[in-house]
Amino acid sequence: MSNTFHTRDLSGSSFLITGGAGFIGSHIAEYLLKHGAKKVRVLDNLSNGFQSNLDILQQFPAFEFLEGDIRNAETCQQACAGMDYVSHQAALGSVPRSIKEPVYFTEVNVTGFANILKAAVDNNIKQLVYASSSSVYGDDPGLPKQENKTGNCLSPYAATKKTNELYAQVFADVYGIKLMGFRYFNIFGPRQDPDGAYAAVIPLFVKNILNRTPVFINGDGGQTRDFTFVDNAVQVNIKGMLTGNPEALNKSYNVAIGENFSVNYLYSACTEYLQSDFAATYREPREGDIRDSLADISLAKELLGYQPGKKFKDGLEETIEFFKKKYT
């Protein structure tokens, strides 16, 4: 991660990253630590996060780890104490899992978020950014997705993220807190979890091709996604926390590349890079999945100066190299 996404000196600023032991959160925390932040505190209950990610961060003296759960209001107050900025990444992901466990998703993603917002207000946080999701577009058929046009939610997960955006708006209006949400489109990259029932598609493909264990493609594989390398998510979080542009505040932004590729194309790119002839197995489409996804990223470009750096193919190669080292 050589690119610099900020111009301000960070040595006087303290940052809280919730979910910082997880995939995206650990990359944000690492960026801030590498660029000399005064303090980077990670709050994580390690339900989705990993000790291996914390080990990467622990080499920096400015790093601090607080083990705790965002469902606990006191923990959130403790986490926000003495911080200047918050990047809220702690959440439960996975559409299919949310269909199985809707109440659990609501407790973590909605109540947990409200706890963080309240703690941010009480502790005078300067600016807060949070992870929303492209799933808020639901059944809206229009492409590319534009922030002001959302449809009906197709899963409890999507409903929790849409609710986050409603809470954020209310907190901005009622308490005057400065914040913004990021609708992530299929973020991928090194350190993404390839294990478990709800693993993300790219690490899962790479791991199973390497191990020659069955790879499943849901539906016909023609569904498309705006696959977005993790550095781009880091960039927008840094720019969002630090922006001085008042026009940029209290909005939701698409975070993507603005290009989409089919799952079949993704699979062939993985096999080609790994020089493998391993064939995938097709199965039933997944409940709650949208067919096509493509983002209009002009709002983030205009108001935050967001410029996606690493495109799909370069990001995919870097990701595959990471997993090759891990599994071979």
Render pLDDT for 164-188 as a digit per residue (tens, 0 to 9). Answer: 999 999 999 999 999 999 999 999 9
Q: pLDDT band at residue 275, thresholds of 50, 70 and 90? A: very high
16 pLDDT more than 50: yes
Helix, strand and coil percent figures for the chain, each rounded to 5: 40, 15, 40
327 pLDDT more than 90: no
Percentage above 90 pLDDT, the chain: 94
Mean pLDDT of the chain: 96
Catalytic residue status for 273: no
Identify the H or E element spanning 16: strand 14-18
pTM: 0.97
* Domains of the chain with bracketed CATH: 14-188+228-259+289-309 (3.40.50.720)
Q: pLDDT band at residue 3, thresholds of 50, 70 and 90? A: confident
SS3 state at 195: coil
Q: Which residues contact 328 (CB under 8 A, 6 or more apart)?
A: 210
Give the relative orientation of helices 312-327 and 201-211 as an angle to the nearest 10 degrees: 50
pLDDT (tens digit per residue) in 226-266: 999 999 999 999 999 999 999 999 999 999 999 999 999 99
Q: pLDDT band at residue 274, thresholds of 50, 70 and 90? A: very high
51 pLDDT more than 80: yes
**Residue 35, pLDDT score:** 98
**Residue 1, pLDDT score:** 46
Tokens of 279: 């064939």
Pick the closest to residue 127 from 244, 286, 7 (CA basis). 244
The active-site residue out of 31, 85, 130, 157 is 157
36 pLDDT more than 70: yes
290 pLDDT more than 90: no
56 pLDDT more than 70: yes
Q: Please state, in angstroms and rounded to a whole number, the distance separating the CA atoms of residues 126 and 74.
A: 20
pLDDT (tens digit per residue) in 113-136: 999 999 999 999 999 999 999 999
pLDDT (tens digit per residue) in 128-165: 999 999 999 999 999 999 999 999 999 999 999 999 99
Q: Please classify residue 265 by burial: count the beta carbons closer than 10 Å to its beta carbon, then call 0-12 exposed, 13-18 middle and 19+ buried.
A: middle
